[in-house]
Each structure stands twice: as structure tokens, then as C-alpha cells.
Chain A
Amino acid sequence: VLTATVFLPLAGALFIAAFLRGSQARLFAAAIAIADLALAAAVFASYDATVGGFQLADLHAGWIRLLGGDFIRYSLAVDGLSAPLVLLAGLLGVAAIFSSWSIDHDHKGYFAWLLILQTAVMGVFAAQDFILFFIFWELELVPMFFLISGWGSGRKEYSAMKFVSFTFGGSAFMLVGILALFFSPGVGTFDMMRLAQMDLSSLVLPSQVVFALFAIAFLVKLPVWPVHTWLPDAHTDAPTAVSVMLAGVLLKMGGYGLIRINVSMFPDVAQSASLFLAVLAAISILYGAMVTMRQTDLKRLVAFSSISHMGYVLLGISSVGAVGAASAVGLTGAAMQMFSHGAITGLLFVMVGLVYDKTHTRHIPDLGGLASRMPFVTVLFVVAGLASLGLPTTSGFVAELLVFLGAFPVHGFLTTLGVIGVLLTAGYILWTLQRTLFGPTLPRWAELRDASPVEAVAPVLLVTAIMVVGLYPAIITDVFGAAMESLVTQRFVGLLP
């Protein structure tokens, strides 16, 4: 199932590139994305959280035999951490296709690249072999480069290059880390499942250095202050769907990598680095939120709010400084925040894209009073905004609550700073909603029409996901929670803070 889930979009993309054109490509891509969502849902549903561990493995043991050592495997599997993220990628894949209905040139290339991107991100979450993981990680660069520079706006070429340079630069460090692990005496494997059980304290390089090599790659991707500068540019200049995928799924690759590799494989280093991570998290939260306040471009605004929100993910991860229940809660919160931010920010970008399609501006002072012309868009936009500020009954609330519960016992002061970030978030979200949607109807927007049924697909899908998880979080938290609890009991108990 997993192989099909990961590679269906790629197959679809090749088919589009070879045979289809124009709006055919669009319809076919939508069909593929929906089928892939169904597969991802099947993966999620058939993952049994009560059993835990890795399931649904697809393994081909002998792909490449590296240098007379161990094999590089083709190995896919999901555990409680990756199963929901695969589902998230499927969900946003559909949202991305439907929010690109208005793409104006070269449908064929656009939808093909979008589907390839989907394969790459799903592969990152499902791969359990380090080299395969790295291949998917790098593979994602190519479609992103083409999508941003080909279908973006503004300084699109600069932004695309900046995105590629940052990610590629980060992954250079990661590759050295992977190789240093592999060639350490007594390790000799790329199998991530086995590595997460091993004692990796004596390596060819000090384990702190290897930890740092991985952390650099993932923190850039997350991103945190001060390596966040690629994000606003990439978001602002990317087409809507790419922003959706970028904020929704690609940033999660960073958080996923931190938990899957840094925390699981180097628990002791993670523990001693937790204060450092928490400081970065607090700075990102506050800095992100404050910069968000100052934005006048809707897309840039959402982009900076992402930096602030991804700070919560890091804050949750930093709860590994404690031992026991708190860190399991914090890690679950971090994972939840990844899922929920994916859906919420995906939705926000869809809404911004819709507003832009209608009004052809993203400049906040130019907007205002859209509510009377576009009630449907307004309702969904407000839902997205409220979810983003963490209102109860939305998934955002659950995630942030768990993060604070987990992190407070360890980093009390920094967590308090993080809570202030929630206040700022409430401030800028409500202010933005008020300035764009409400107020007197401006005469120039008198002719606007509400969203069409096709345009409504993506937001309705995402709102449903947000509300379902918000009202009954257990469907996701149970899965994340079980995985994080077993991680903590297996790797952290016995370590002193």
C-alpha cells in the first residue's frame, strides 16, 4: 500500500507529461490526488496504534550494496509519527490541486511537477532507509524550483534559487551526518528503524557534532530564526498551491526529521541541547509573531505566522529536557502542531489565494469589506484565522495546549514567553481579518463574486479536517501519543536530566 501511495502521484505525473495536455491534465491530476488521498487514508486507517511500532512495511533488501558494507534498502514503513503525516500530505495534495484551478499557462508541466512534489514529500515521511530518505528529501527540490520560478510571481527566480540554496545547503550537512553514522564502528547500517534502537554515543565524530549536522538541516527546513529568511520569499512568490504544499507539508519535514532522527537516535544529546532548542523556539515564536504584525502583504503575513507557529513545534520538541510523561506530552504536542498547522496554514494560503484570484491584490490596505460580497469565503477565512490562533474546537487549540503542557515543567520561563506568542497571534489574526473582510464595502469590490464550487473543494476539505480533529482529537493524538510514549519509554527512561 505504501509504495502505491508514495509513487501513484509520480506515475500520474509521468502519464500527464507523456499524454495529456491543458485541462485534461488538470482533471487527471485531481483524480490522481483524490485516489492518493484515499490510499493515504487507507494507510492511516490500517495503522494499528494499539500495536504500535512500524507497520505496513515494504522492503526490498538489496538495492545498492555500498562499498562492500551494508545494503542501501528500499524500505518504506509508517509508525505512529509518520502515518498521520502521510495522511496530511494526501489531504494537502488534493487541496493543492484544487486551489490551482485558475493556473493560466502550461497546465501540463504545472500539474506534473505538483504531483512529483507529492511523491517526494510522502516518500520523506515513509522512508525508513537513510539514503532513501535523503533521496526523497533532495528530490523535492526539483519540482519546487520549477514550480516557484515557473508559475510564481514577483521576484520568483530569486526566491526559487534561495529556497534551493538553503535546503540544499542544509542537506549537505545532513549527508555528512548520515555517512558519519554509517561508518562508525558497530553501526554500519542505513536502517533508520534499527538506528533508533542503537546506542550511538561513540561515533567517528563526537555524537554532539553528528546531532548538530542533522539539526542544521532540519532547523533550516522548519525554519527557525535566524535561518528562516528563505521562507517569506518563497511563500510570497510561489503560486498558491505551492505555498499550500510548502507550509502544509514541506516545513513538517523539518519537525519530522528532528523527532525521527535527532530525538530518537540521540536522546542524550537532545536532552542536553533542549535548552538551546527552547531558546530558538521562543525567539522564533515571538520574532515571527511580531514581524507578522508589520506585514501588509497577506501572503507574507501568513508566511511569517508560519515561522511563529513552527516555533511551537520546536518548543514541544524541547520538552525532551524532562524525563517521563511531560516530554511525551510535549512531543505529541509538537507532532500535533505539525499536523494541525499543516491543515490550518494550508487553508489560510488557499483563502489568500482565493482572495487574490478575485481581487488581484494581496495588499491589505487595498482590501476591506469583502464580507458582504463573499460571505462563503469570509466564513472559511474566519474559521482558518480562529483555528490559527488556537480557538478551542479547532485542532490548533489541542496542539498548542499539549505543547505548553509538555514544555512548561522543563522550560517554565521560555514557555511563558511562548504563551505570549499566542496573544500576539490573536492580535494579528483578528486585526487582519478585520482589515480585509469587514468594514464598509469598498465600491471597487462591489462586483466580486463568491467562491465557485470547484474553488470551495479545497477549503471545505481542510475545514472539515480541522474541525474533526478539534472536536475529537483522539483520532490523531492517540496515534501520535502512542508513538511518542514508546519513544520516551524506550530511549529516555534511564537518562538523568
Chain B
Amino acid sequence: MTPADLYLLAPEISMVGLAVLVVVLDLTVGSKRLLGAVAVIGLALPAALTIMLWGEVSGWWSLLDRMPGEVAGHSIPGVYGTFSVDHFALFFKLMFTGIAALVILASTGAAGRIQRLKGEYYALILTSATGMMLLATATELITLYIALELSALPMVALVALTGEARSTEAGIKLLLLGALSSAVLLYGMVLTFGFTGTTHLAEIATAVSSMATEGGEPFGGPLMLVAVVLIVAGFGFKIAVVPFQMWVPDVYEGAPTPITAYLSVASKAAGFAVLLRVFHTAFGSMEMDWSLLFAGIAAASMTIGNLVAVAQSNIKRMLGYSTIAHAGYILVGLAAVASRTGDDLGIGANTLLFYLVGYAFTNLATFFAVIAITNKTGNEAISGFAGMGRRAPLLALVLAVGLISLTGIPPTVGFMAKLFIFSAAVKADLAWLALVGLVNSVVSAYYYLRVVRSMYLAPPESEERITAPPALKFAVGLTALGVLALGIWPQALLSVAELAGLALRP
């Protein structure tokens, strides 16, 4: 560890520091209201440090001694090359910081047992976010694995935190299946290490590319294929795609709703970050082989997620299946790799990054509105949303905007995200996959709009008005604004995503 490494890891370090501070404050001061404010405002520090590093990477300023000849826009390796600070990693770090802030903001008004557990609750969210940030930045398999566990274990605790029966059950499920998938992932990593003799992604890439050229077979032979499949299975659990999605509905239903939102957005984005990193960096030379694998998973995930979602009557379960479908849409971006497009523009990754951010805004807006409403009604059935258009006009409007964005209808970011990602698919000669995705959107319209319909058209159960605490209202408003703003003017985010995607290219 050199001072430079400390600087490069500053966002993560400050995040852990914040978590510790929250716990200490919880023990000494004891004002629960203060904790939320400290956590949210404190997150400005990691965000600021991330932006500072962005400037460092872009070459706007230079606090580090640069190697002679090093150019701006490149990655800066740290701690013996186990991680790299580049636009891609920083993009995700900023995103995780933002999501953590929003989730904490939304949790301040959450009902039930969470009220009494604020200190550890916030600290766990922050720790998990730290793990995700490390995950996005790691370029070495062991670091990556540790980061993965760091992000996953606090999540298990968060899911089980309320101590209610179904919440505990969800926690156990997540823990056991998570451990299983970690083991599978580890096995894949071990095999990879066995073939290549290294755990550094860049060196794996060199070894693999010679392997791919030697044998004409896919993945350079059956053993490497096994390794790749095991790694896909491990990460597939994290991003919740078919056939590794079994845990989703139960865990999503059992977890406290803010944590469901956190899982569906941050945890998923972290999974995609590491998938992009590993497959583009280490297995980049086998693009043609794995892109079809992901295309198949994407098609299955979209189709099954949407079809099962149609049959749900609990809104959290429905949104759970909807996240499986969306993981499928997002995977389309991974399948649309550069070598399929015929030029060196890696558009798939760019559109994937755009989709992740758009999806984060959309899903958070949707979940926050659901939190605000179910806090009061205590009813998670879709029929419980009847008449919300009258009982809570603004919340219902936000929920409608969120669901319309999930469907992919303009003028929301969901439309733009789908437009971009399916563009990438068509460009990559995967028009069939785009068509599968679009037909799936039509199916999804059915169950998303069903909720909208029930909110505006069904008679309310009671006339009591529903209001939300100011912090939650703020979070709801902010995310909804993001959904619309990015739907009308997506260019700024798209440019940033392009810059981040650039970092993945050798």
C-alpha cells in the first residue's frame, strides 16, 4: 500500500468510515433521526472523491505522479494491479453512492421494526455499497471474490433484519443460495487459474487469446468452456437471470421494501459491472462464443420473467419477476459485443451502462412509491392499490410514470434505454433478439398497466388520504424527475456511458 493507493481507494475508505461513524453515533448520541441525515449527507464525501478521481483519470488535474508517457483517459492501477481506477469503475462508484443515498433517504420513513434498528441498518447498507464499489474496480479474481462477498453478506443481514418470519426465511434463502453460487463461481475461477496460471484479468486475457487461437473449438476447448459456464452461473445468481433466478420472488417479497429496491438495483448493477469487466477484459478474445450464450440467457430471462409476472397478485413479487425480465433486457447489451458489430465501437457495453442507470431511476421511483403507499395501507396485493389515483394523486402519478418507464413507453428513460439496447442488438446482427425483447415488452405492458389501471379506475377501499414523510417524498420526486429528464434529454448520460464503456476496451 502506497499513499497513491490510499488516494485511489479513497471513495471506498470514506464509505467504510461513514459506516463506522453511523454505528458510533448510534451508540453515543442515540438520536435515530440524526443518523439518517448523517448517512445521506456523509455520502457526499465518497461522491466528491469519486468525481475527483474522475478528473484525475480524465487528466483534468493530476495529484499523482504519472508515469512518463501515460495519457489521460487511461486506467490507473493500484495495489499491485489488483484493482484499476478508470472511467468504468468510477461510473459505477458514483452510481452506487447515489443509490445508497436514495435508499437511505427512503428508509428514514420506513415503518415497522426498521425504525428501531437504524444504526446497523444504515451501516449495513453502506458496507454493502463499499463491496459493490470494490467489485466494480477490481481487476483480479481474488480481490473480486472478496468484494463480492463483502457486498453480499450485509445484504443477507439486511433482508433478515426485521426478524419477521418471512423476512428471516428470505434471509436464509439468500444466504444458502448465495453461498452455493459463490462456491460455483469460485470453482470456475479456480479452473481458470488452473489453465492460465494467473488471477489477474489482463494476464488471463493474454493466456486465453493464445488458447482461443490454438484450437478452433469454442472457448478453446471443453475445459475452458466449463470454467466460463461456472463463472456465468455464479454471476447469473447475482444479476438474477434465468435459470439462476429461483431466489428472487421469495427474497423480494420477504425483505423490507427499501432493501428489495436496493437489491433489485444496486446488487444487480454490481453483478453487471463485474460481468462486463471479467468478460470484456479476461475473455475478450472469445467474444463471439460467449455472446451467443448471453443472448440465449437474455431471451429466456425476458420471456420467463415477463410471463410469470403476469400471474402475480403481490406487487413485490410482480416487481421481482419484472427485475428478472429486465436483467434479460440488460444482458442483450452484453450479447451485442464489438466483434459482432463489424467495427470496433463497443456499443453494447455503452447501452448497457445507460440502461443500468435508467433502470435504477425507474425501479427506485417505482419501489419508493410502493413503499410510501404500502407503509400506510399495509397491503402489498395489487388490488390494494385500487383508487390510489384519488387517495394519493402524486404518489400514484409517480408509480404510473415508473411503470410506464418499465414498459418502455416514451417520454421516459425506459423507452430510451430499450431503444438504445435494442439498437445495439440489431447492429450486432442480433435482430431476432431485439424482436424477442420487443415482443416481451408488449407482454409486460399487460401487467404493468394493470396496476396503473387499478390505481386510477378501481374504486378505493377507503377515502383516507395517503401522505408520505418528507424525506421519502423527496426521494420519490427526485427519482421520478430523473426518469422523465433522462427520457427527454438522454444525451448527457449517454456520453458519460460511452466514456465509461471505452475503458473496457483493450
**Interface of A toward B, CB cutoff 8 Å:** 62-68, 131, 135, 138-139, 141-142, 145-146, 149-150, 157, 160-161, 164-165, 168-169, 172-173, 175-176, 179-180, 182-183, 204-205
Contact = CB atoms under 8 A, between A and B. Distances in A.
Nearest to A71: B491
Contacts of A173: 435, 438
Nearest to B418: A175
Nearest to A139: B410
Given A66-B420, A67-B345, A157-B457, A142 B409 contact: yes
B382 to A, nearest CB: 14
B403 to A, nearest CB: 11
A68 B415 contact: no
B449 A161 contact: yes
A314 B438 CA distance: 27
Contacts of B426: 176, 179-180, 182-183, 204
Most buried by B among A65, A169, A175: A175
B427 A169 contact: no
B24 interface: no
A169 B407 CA distance: 12
Given A146-B456, A172-B438, A183-B426, A165 B420 contact: no
B8 interface: no
B431 interface: yes
A265 B78 CA distance: 55
Binding site of B, secondary structure by majority: helix, strand, loop or mixed? helix
A176 B420 contact: no
A142 B37 CA distance: 38
Binding site of A, secondary structure by majority: helix, strand, loop or mixed? helix
B439 A172 contact: yes
Contacts of A179: 422-423, 426-427, 431, 434
A151 to B, nearest CB: 10
A487 B344 CA distance: 38
B431 A176 contact: yes
Contacts of A165: 442, 445-446
Interface of B: 345, 347, 350-351, 404, 409-411, 415-416, 419-420, 422-424, 426-427, 429, 431, 434-435, 438-439, 441-442, 445-446, 449, 452-453, 456-457, 490-491, 494-495, 498
A149 B438 contact: no
Contact of A183 (B350, B427, B438, B491): B427
A24 B4 CA distance: 65
Contact of A169 (B411, B416, B442): B442
B494 A64 contact: yes
A139 B456 contact: no
A65 B416 CA distance: 12
A63 B435 contact: no
29 contacts: A62-B491, A64-B416, A64-B491, A64-B494, A65-B494, A67-B345, A67-B420, A68-B498, A131-B419, A135-B410, A135-B415, A138-B409, A138-B410, A142-B409, A145-B452, A161-B449, A164-B449, A169-B442, A173-B438, A175-B419, A175-B434, A176-B434, A179-B426, A179-B427, A179-B431, A180-B431, A182-B423, A183-B423, A183-B426
Contacts of A142: 404, 409
Contacts of B422: 175-176, 179
Given A142-B409, A149-B457, A68 B345 contact: yes
Given A67-B345, A165-B445, A175-B419, A149 B409 contact: no
A161 B457 CA distance: 13
B446 A161 contact: yes
A168 B442 contact: yes
A142 B490 CA distance: 21
A116 to B, nearest CB: 11
A378 to B, nearest CB: 36
